[in-house]
Structure 1
Amino acid sequence: MASIQYPSPVKAPPHVVSLLDRLHQLSRTQEDAVDTQEVEAQGFDNYMRDKFIALDRDKAEFVYQLARAINAKTIVEAGTSFGVSTIYLALAVSRNVTAGTGPGVVIATENEKTKADKAREHWKEVGDEITGCIQLREGDILQTLKHDLPDVDLLLLDIWAPIALSVLKLVQPRLRRGAVVIADNTIGAAPKYKDLLAYMRAPDSPFTNLTLPYSKGLELSVYLP
């Protein structure tokens, strides 16, 4: 029985599609090779520090579609890693800017220099016409996002879970009404996201929340103060 081919919302030049195919395959290979004994020995976060694990393709396509739907022109990505999901965000923003008016920016953040350097290589391969909207802030995210934040349409939290709440609180004053917050792995890493989820789901929270049943979960929250 032939597998069903579902449509992709992503509109990109052939060389970008080819690059994304290759990077998602590399990510899958790396994820399949995760050594559970080493994870236990080193701790999950230390073990994953230099690993190339990208946002799952279906999640990345969903975030792209959502960014297009809300006409997001200013996006903050907390946790850029090797820059794969950033390409999807830049594709969406570049199309939203073309379709509308005003500048667009994807503010990408990464603490690990080796990952930031690799991300830049991937973006160079895509080309400045698309990735020229990316502004990479390298270093401690709690410092790099302290200043010079424009009003934010979408925040993607794909970062070390214990600091996710601190990052949200840092960006929250700049979220426009109706802005969307996406957090990855909120089912698979629910204990690590305990504080974030309690904050966002509190009775007096300014966020409305929905957990999407992607692999390990994807939280979609809308900011409505």
Structure 2
Amino acid sequence: MSAPAANPVVAPDHVHALLNRLHQESLTQEEALPSTYLSSPDGFDDLMRDKFIALDQDKCHFVYQLARATGARNIVEVGTSFGVSTIYLALAVGSNLKHLGGGGMVIATEKEHEKAENARLHWREAGIDLVMRHIDLREGDLLETLRDNIPQVDLVLLDIWAPIALPALKLLEPKLRPGAVVIIDNSIASASRYKDLLSHLRSPTSGYTNLTLPYSKGLEMCVKIR
């Protein structure tokens, strides 16, 4: 019998139970969506308004492990939705601050008020001291909420509708430290709608190195080198 897949996330049992439940709810929602939902812009916002289609659990494990490995203190999540992946980021930041010292925060963004409220409920369920205290949720138009009061950024998780992706990254770029990592979900399945963003990141003059990780639908890992 093979050993169960390793889970790097250090958290109490109730947090693991919460995350497993939310990932299952996300999978159920995704299975009910039309197969073209990632590639078709028509009606996408209306379709997704009450959905939270979380970052896949194995991708969340990777991003958590990456945040721990790099000692990330300040993380920006561009596209929070119901706050599932935010829990992983907050757990990583909390552990890093505990072991490395200093200050830090997960800056989370969400346009839809109802989604923001659901995210807050999930974070409270995970734990105010364990998770919620490490999150700065900025509700509204992210091109406004990310304009000011951004510290030096160690990691960006970008999982947002394509037209806003590149403008959001360009807002953050002056704050990316050398070695900062930008993660983009669905970089294979949604390559056409992320064309401008990926062209920017992969340009020889962009100052990034890039790697497409072979997760389902793709996961892009970009490192800011200058």
Aligned residue in 1 for 2:202: 201
Task: State how 1:9-158 maps to structure 2 within 5 Å.
Answer: 9-35=8-34, 43-131=43-131, 132-158=133-159
Aligned residue in 1 for 2:4: 5
- Structure 2 residue 209 is the aligned partner of structure 1 residue 214: no
Q: Which runs of 5+ in 1 are unaligned?
A: none
Structure 1 SS opposite 2:49:
helix
| Gap change, CA 1:189 and 1:38, over 3 Å in 2 | closer
Displacement of 1:25 after TM fit? 0.6
Displacement of 1:168 after TM fit? 0.6
Q: State the distance in 1 between where 2:64 and 2:33 align.
A: 27
Q: State the distance in 2 between where 1:71 and 1:166 align.
A: 27
Q: State the distance in 2 between where 1:58 and 1:36 align.
A: 21
Q: State the distance in 2 between where 1:195 and 1:54 align.
A: 23
TM (normalized to structure 1)? 0.95
Aligned residue in 2 for 1:188: 189
Q: What letter corresponds to residue 6 of structure 1 in structure 2?
A: A
Structure 2 SS opposite 1:220:
strand
Structure 1 SS opposite 2:178:
strand
Q: What letter corresponds to residue 216 of structure 2 in structure 1?
A: S
Note the aligned Cα RMSD (angstroms): 1.7
| Gap change, CA 1:130 and 1:4, over 3 Å in 2 | same
Q: What letter corresponds to residue 122 of structure 1 in structure 2?
A: H
Q: State the distance in 2 between where 1:38 and 1:189 align.
A: 10
Displacement of 1:49 after TM fit? 2.3
Displacement of 1:46 after TM fit? 2.8
Q: State the distance in 2 between where 1:224 and 1:107 align.
A: 22
Displacement of 1:161 after TM fit? 1.6
Structure 1 SS opposite 2:182:
strand
TM (normalized to structure 2)? 0.95
Q: What letter corresponds to residue 99 of structure 2 in structure 1?
A: A
Q: What letter corresponds to residue 29 of structure 2 in structure 1?
A: Q
Q: How many residues align?
A: 224
Q: State the distance in 1 between where 2:216 and 2:135 align.
A: 27
Structure 1 SS opposite 2:130:
helix
| Gap change, CA 1:4 and 1:29, over 3 Å in 2 | farther
Displacement of 1:163 after TM fit? 1.2
Structure 2 SS opposite 1:205:
coil
1:67-114 CA distances to partner (integer Å, 9 max, x unpaired)?
000000000000000000000000000000000111120000000111
Displacement of 1:48 after TM fit? 1.5
Displacement of 1:44 after TM fit? 3.0
Aligned residue in 1 for 2:180: 179
Structure 2 SS opposite 1:137:
strand
Q: What letter corresponds to residue 77 of structure 1 in structure 2?
A: E
Identity percentage of aligned residues:
60
Structure 2 SS opposite 1:10:
coil
Displacement of 1:43 after TM fit? 2.7
